[in-house]
Amino acid sequence: MLRQESLNRRADLTLRRLLHALECARSQLAVAMATESKATPPSRWRSYVEIDDRMRRCLRRLRSLRRDPSQEPLELLPTLEALQRLPRRPDPETRRAGAEHLCRYLGDVLSRIEAQEELFDPPAE
C-alpha cells in the first residue's frame, strides 16, 4: 500500500512538471511567433496554429488524468526531459529560425505524447 502511494505521488509530480513544461513551451512559442508575426508566411502561421491546437488538446487530456492518479503515465518522463531542454531565451540573431525550429521541436514532443494516446483514455468496459 505504501509503495503504491509512493508511486502515485511520483507519477503526480511527473505529471505536474510535464503540465508546467508544456504550458511554458506553449507560451514560449506564442512569444516567438508574435515576434515575427508580420513577416510570417501563411503556411508557417498555419503550422504554428496546428501546434498550438495540439498542445491545448494534450494539456486538456493530461489535466484530466490528474483526477485519477492510477492512470498517470510515468512513461512520459522522457518527454518532460525533452521539454526541459528547450532554450529559454533564444539568440536575437536567430529568432526567426528559432520560432520555426521551436514549432518542429514541439511537434516532435507532441507526437511522443500522442503516441501514448491509450494512456489518456480509460479502458473500455
Task: List the domain boundaries for the chain.
Answer: 2-118
The predicted pLDDT at position 21 comes to: 93
Distance CA 97, CA 1 (A): 50
Residue segments in the chain with a per-residue pLDDT below the cut of 50 = 67, 123
b vs e for 44-65, b when ≥16 Cβ sit within 10 Å of the residue's Cβ? beebbeebbebbeebbeebeeb
